[in-house]
Amino acid sequence: MFYLSPDEWIAVQLSLRIAIVATLTALPFGIAVAWLLARKDFWGKALVDGLVHLPLVLPPVVTGYLLLITFGRKGLVGGFLENFGIVFSFRWTGAALACGIMGFPLLVRAIRLSFESIDRKLEDAASTLGANRLRVFLTVTLPLALPGIIAGMVLCFAKALGEFGATITFVSNIPGETQTLSAAIYSFMQVPRGEDAAARLVVVAIIIALAALIVSEWLARRAGTRFHGE
């Protein structure tokens, strides 16, 4: 019979919570940045594009280090936020921040592509029918971009679930607080007789990843038939 010890359960739950919070928090920013990059020309656009994609190409440990010196308690942003009781370092919220930033480029890429593939003429049609720019965005642009938004969220979620380097560098590997699935598997493999626990968590990781894929496929198909079916 397959069962998880309480410690393993906590790591799984923590991972899911971190990945979900990271994805949902990144989503509005991802949509905004994707829209800016897809639709607007502004000074410094290449720089913004580069910054967004940086976590994709930097070694994760470097991203974690940069997060630590920026969002750590003595960091520029971290020190400021601490005045408001917001602390990232060595907390699960910090893990969510690291995962969100690591997944952000994947989220933005997918949404940006779907914004770019939308027929702008439909937006023109909406404006002649009396919709202001915000309403055009909410009733035409956003719904038509839905398949790309779903795809981006799944990629971001998967990245967040599997994130290791940046998280462990930024918030360490504290069981029950910042020890995610990946970190727990790594830790179990370092101790004698930890292989069984590691193997169980590996199975859980595979199940979660598969479930995410199936759900996204189902959602994308549903969105697809809404556009093309009767």
Partner 1 sequence: MLSVDVEKKLGDFSLAASFETAGDVTALFGPSGAGKTTLVNMIAGLVTPDRGRIVLDDAVLFDSATGINIPAHRRRIGYVFQEGRLFPHMTVARNLDYGHRMNGLPFDAAEANRVIDMLDIRSLLERRPGKLSGGERQRIAVGRALLTRPRLLLLDEPLASLDAKRKSEILPYLEKLRDEARVPMVYVSHTPSEIRRIATSVVWLDGGRVTAVRGVAFLDTMRAIDS
The residues that touch partner 1, with contacts defined as CB under 8 A, are 119, 121-122, 124-133, 135-136, 139-140, 143-144, 226-230
The separation between the first and the last C-alpha atoms of the chain, rounded to the nearest angstrom, is 47
Nearer to partner 1, 35 or 170 (CB): 35
Q: Nearest distance from residue 150's CB to partner 1, in Å?
A: 14
Residue type, 129: L
186: which residues sit within 8 A by CB, 6+ positions away? 164, 173
Which lies closer to partner 1 via its Cβ, residue 189 or residue 223? 223
When the beta carbons of 128 and 190 are compared against partner 1, the nearer one is 128
Q: Min. distance of Cβ 128 from partner 1 in angstroms?
A: 4
Least distance from partner 1 to the Cβ atom of residue 115, Å: 15
Pick between residue 22 and residue 111 the one whose CB is nearest to partner 1.
111
**Residue 40 or 193 with smaller CB distance to partner 1:** 40
Cα separation, 90 vs 101, in Å, equals: 16
Do residues 173 and 185 touch, judged by C-beta distance below 8 A?
no
Min CB(122)–partner 1 separation in Å: 6
**Smallest distance, partner 1 to C-beta of residue 152, A:** 18
Q: How far apart are CA 207 and CA 87, in angstroms?
A: 32
Question: 23, 161 in Cβ contact below 8 A?
Answer: no
Q: Which residue type is seen at 200? A: R
Q: How far is CA 4 from CA 9, 12, 22, 198, 230, in A?
A: 6, 10, 25, 10, 46
